[in-house]
Amino acid sequence: MKRESIVPAACAAVTYTVLCHPHHHTVFIVLTDGPGNKDDITRSKNEGKELSKEEKQRLRKQKKQQKKQKERKNEKSETEKEKTPVSLLPPPRPVATQKAPSALPAPASAPIPVPASAPFHSSPAPSPADKPAKSKAELKAERRARQETDRAAKQPGSSSSGIKTKVPLSELNPVVKRLPEHVQVDDPAVVKRLAKKLERQQIPLRSDYGYKVSLFSHLHQYSRKAPLTQQLSIPSTVIHPSIVRLGLQYSQGIVAGSNARSVALLHAFKQVIRDYTTPPNEELSRDLVNKLKPYISFLNQCRPLSASMGNAIKYIKKEISNIPSQCKEEEAKTKLLTCIDRYIEEKIVLAAKAISKYAIEKISDGDVILVYGCSSLVNNILCEAFEKSRKFRVIVVDSRPRLEGREALRRLVQRGISCTYVLISALSYILPEVSKVFLGAHALLANGYVMSRVGTSQIALVARTFNVPVLVCCETYKFCEKVQTDSFVSNELDDPDDLMVTRKGKTQLENWQDVSSLGLLNLVYDVTPPDFVDLVITDLGMIPCTSVPVVLRVKNLDQ
């Protein structure tokens, strides 16, 4: 058993004797501390002075050691009890328990063997992996509880002052902002936690597919050929069928685009609410929110949630929890349904109208407008401007593997707008002709960065070099409290098989999995810094990119 202990210098002599014992695989790390450290601490405690950092650390270690001592004693008593009924015990254990008590009582401050990875490379005994981990967690919890009680005891009149300090804080921050956690697939602890959570909610865990490029190994990478719905039993008792359908639509890319996904989500939730009945002895406001949680995890597994979907979910949860308890079920349900309808109407449909109104002012006759990919909002603006008989022509820029520009091209040409179609590699060739660039956004981050389809920041960069104004159109419900300065930390990896292309009967990259040094990267989003964006058109008006946090602040005050 690998063990490591922390010993104050005063006890070095005693521990030396223990170290020499052949069976006792213990490593002692000696702290070089000043004389009478323990006395110092007790003295300063009694004086009520603030402990210095070192002293606090020492105090913590002492407490840990004391707890370990207690644990060891408990363990020892348990194993001793175990010894009598069960004769077959692994040899290191009784040896350790026998030796430990001999070592323990001798020094006053008790060096306690701490189960940890030690530089002392002894063969690891077959001790159960869970036991040391569990005891560590238990000890941590105990220590935290101890610390809390100590802290509370230290402060005079702690409860009243605690409440007093809490109240003005809550007045200052009525809205507690909980930012979405970053995805961390390469951290096993996080993955384990996620797996446990999904197990609790009875949702299957989707496994990653293929080799991931090292810079993005912290993100999920799923294959479209293995949707999560295949792992569900039908009929699923946990997940509502419209949510299952929605999840399939997301993962297969049938419903794509920020607005489309949000609207589909809200419609699916409406169906869920219609089919919902409150179980007996439960309140609708609390139970419905709990019912929605596994659905959201499921949808997250099918395809990571977008910022707009996150905001919509936050709104629905708030509305549900605001339902008064004396409200009857039918009434509550109709109220929720009208809320959702109103949200869609206000934040998406009417916002699009307001944005078109502002944007049309910026389109003058003779303009050559460049658009990228397929943004429902930008297409809307262009169609409205064309109806108001503005004379302009459009250049649609497209990129592989999604080739969304073709959809935008189809919609614009149907209206009769004259369009040109190029791939993104021809961007610097076509830009001298362009007078304005209109871009859509997936989300607008709190530091003014624009998160949009991959390729957008490239377009903004080249347009800035050519001195062409870049306008971003975005509704306010897509404004997100996140802060990001690069495209690595939080992004989405699409199916790498999409990068395979079949030309003249030959499929390039067909066997890319067999080549060990080859990785395919199919990014979905990127972030554009605010210096490349000249103007953001929102339903509140035209604002510079640096004013996004101001709008967020104003919105929070309204809520």
Partner 1 sequence: IKDKLVEYFRTQVRQDPEVPSAVAAIRTLLEFLKRDQTGETILGLRENLTQTIRRLEEADSSVAVSSGGELFLRFISLTSLEHPDLSQCKKVMVERGELFLKKISLSRSKVAKLCHTFIKDGAKILTHSSSRVVLKVLESAAADKKRFTVYVTESQPDSAGRQMADKLQNLNIPVTVVLDAAVGYIMEKVDLVIVGAEGVVESGGIINKIGTYQLAVCSKAHNKPFYVVAESFKFVRLYPLNQQDVPERFKYKADTLKAVEDLAEEHPMIDYTPPSLITLLFTDLGVLTPSAVSDELIKLYL
Largest CA distance in the chain: 95
529 binds partner 1 (CB under 8 A): no
Strands 114-115 and 3-8: antiparallel
What are the CB-based long-range contacts (under 8 Å, 24+) for 238-242? 238/201, 238/202, 238/203, 238/294, 239/203, 239/294, 239/295, 239/298, 240/268, 240/271, 240/272, 240/275, 240/295, 242/268, 242/271, 242/272
Among 492, 495, 534, 539, binds partner 1 (CB under 8 A): 534
Cα 246 from Cα 466, distance rounded (Å): 42
Reported as type and span, the H/E element at residue 464 is helix 456-465
544 binds partner 1 (CB under 8 A): yes
Query: CA-CA distances (angstroms) from residue 404 to 11, 149, 423, 526?
Result: 72, 59, 11, 16
| Interface positions, 355-394, toward partner 1 (CB under 8 A) | 362, 364
497 binds partner 1 (CB under 8 A): no
Q: Among residues 162 and 544, whose Cβ is nearest to partner 1?
A: 544
Q: Among residues 198 and 471, whose Cβ is nearest to partner 1?
A: 471
Two tokens, residue 417:
């707008």
Angle at 535 between CA 532 and CA 539, to 5 degrees: 140
446 binds partner 1 (CB under 8 A): no
Q: Among residues 475 and 492, whose Cβ is nearest to partner 1?
A: 475
554 binds partner 1 (CB under 8 A): yes
535 binds partner 1 (CB under 8 A): yes
Q: Among residues 112 and 394, whose Cβ is nearest to partner 1?
A: 394
Candidate segments 266-274, 476-484, 501-509, 541-549, binder of partner 1 by CB under 8 A: 541-549
Q: Among residues 116 and 550, whose Cβ is nearest to partner 1?
A: 550
> Omega before 22 cis (within 30°)?
no
| Residue with the two structure tokens 């384990």 | 192
> Residues touching partner 1: how many (CB under 8 A)?
18
Q: Among residues 299 and 548, whose Cβ is nearest to partner 1?
A: 548
Candidate segments 235-243, 416-424, 499-507, 532-540, binder of partner 1 by CB under 8 A: 532-540
- Which residues is 528 bridged to in the sheet? 450
483 binds partner 1 (CB under 8 A): no
How many helices and strands (H and E) does the chain possess? 18, 15
413 binds partner 1 (CB under 8 A): no
Among 23, 521, 541, 556, binds partner 1 (CB under 8 A): 541
Among 94, 469, 519, 529, binds partner 1 (CB under 8 A): 469
Residue numbers of the site for partner 1 (CB under 8 A)? 362, 364, 436, 469, 471, 531, 534-535, 540-544, 546-547, 550-551, 554
